[in-house]
Amino acid sequence: MRWDVARTLCEQHGLPRSSVFETLYKSDTWRDIERGIGDPAAWKVRAHADLEARAGRPLPALHDEWRRSQRPIAANLELVARLRPPYKVSVLSNADISLRGRLEDELRIHHLFDDIISSAEVGMAKPEPEIFRLAAGRLGLDPAECVFVDDWDPNIEAAKAVGMTAIRYQLDKGDDLAALLAGAGVRPRA
């Protein structure tokens, strides 16, 4: 999620910490958007208005700037490629309806995954237990056979509650995903 960029944008524009993230993703409007309900364009307009209200002045399109900064992590893409086979790898993302198109058309990495679940396409979102069961089922696995990776504790706890092994991974904290997976018994091909 490039938390470092979000923090820098807040600092550069004199905003309280986490303002860029919170105005985009901590709202009832986002909870609808991530479930495929509502107008994504209106959500972005509302988020920008909320950000400007926090600042008390007009601002450039900081949400767009933050989103453009988000890129795949090369080392993790290489790791995903080495996991398949024997492992199945899936994306389970709380995302607006544009996720699949971004993975397929913009980033061109969709072929690295056995499945892609966007919350907006299935009408539910993490940490709802049923989305974790759906992800396992679409891979033909029981939740107990799955290792879930995320950066947010409520999602980690929800995955554990349905029987998954769950790993908290934070790139901006220096975490090594391969090492974390190895600790859970998941080892890619050399």
> Can you give the pLDDT of all 190 residues of the chain as single tens digits?
788 899 999 999 999 999 999 999 999 999 999 999 999 999 999 999 999 999 999 999 999 999 889 889 899 999 999 999 999 999 999 999 999 999 999 999 999 999 999 999 999 999 999 999 999 999 999 999 999 999 999 999 999 999 999 999 998 889 999 999 999 999 999 8
d(CA 31, CA 33): 6
* Residue 48 identity (one-letter amino acid): H
In sequence order, the 6+-apart residues with CB closer than 8 A to the CB of 162 are: 129, 132, 133, 136, 143
d(CA 24, CA 7): 14
d(CA 46, CA 40): 10
- CATH of 74-183 among 3.40.50.1000, 3.20.130.10, 3.90.1300.10, 3.30.565.10: 3.40.50.1000
pTM above 0.75, yes or no: yes
pLDDT (0 to 100) of residue 123: 98
149, 177 Cβ separation under 8 angstroms: yes
pLDDT (0 to 100) of residue 71: 86
40, 27 Cβ separation under 8 angstroms: no
pLDDT (0 to 100) of residue 19: 97
pLDDT (0 to 100) of residue 170: 92
Among left, alpha and beta (phi > 0; psi -120 to 50; other), residue 174 is left
pLDDT (0 to 100) of residue 4: 87
State the CB neighbour count (10 A cutoff) for residue 63.
21
pLDDT (0 to 100) of residue 119: 98
pLDDT (0 to 100) of residue 150: 97
